[in-house]
Copies of this chain bind each other. A is one copy, B any other.
């Protein structure tokens, strides 16, 4: 049993910009040489989330619309009134979707569905350089 820790950067545009990070996570898993265990994918920050979806432009667009209904950009946010950040909607969205995901792996392969990809969604109101952590526990 061991733990291995990896980090990578993703340049995002904000406003629910969605990136497929599956290949990157699998690449680090392969580099770890671990065969079986759990890969925890985590985004440090309070305005981005990690989840899975079929990564095709239709489904991504549909998800963005649903998130816009969940916490619309153009309503009042107390966060903005207090701090003038203008990204109150991003904080709410990120809290609802969450920053973490745990994925089992076997024989060195992430056990995702055929059409299931790991995505980073950046909800902030400006471009960001995001760090993503992949913490792998296994043997």
Residues of A that sit less than 8 Å from B by CB: 1-3, 5, 36-38, 40, 42-46, 51-54, 56-59, 61-63, 66-67, 69-71, 77-83, 88, 91-92, 94-104, 106, 111-113, 115-117, 119, 133, 135, 137-139
Contact = CB atoms under 8 A, between A and B. Distances in A.
Which residue, A40, A45, A82, A135, has most C-beta atoms of chain B within 10 A? A135
B52 A99 contact: yes
Nearest to A98: B51
B80 A66 contact: no
Contacts of A1: 1-3, 139
A62 B83 CA distance: 13
Contact of A52 (B61, B78, B95): B95
A115 B91 CA distance: 10
A113 B38 contact: no
A68 B62 CA distance: 14
A3 B53 CA distance: 27
Contacts of A83: 56, 58
Nearest to A42: B104
A100 B99 contact: no
Given A46-B52, A53-B95, A102 B104 contact: no
A91 to B, nearest CB: 4
Contacts of A92: 59, 62-63, 66
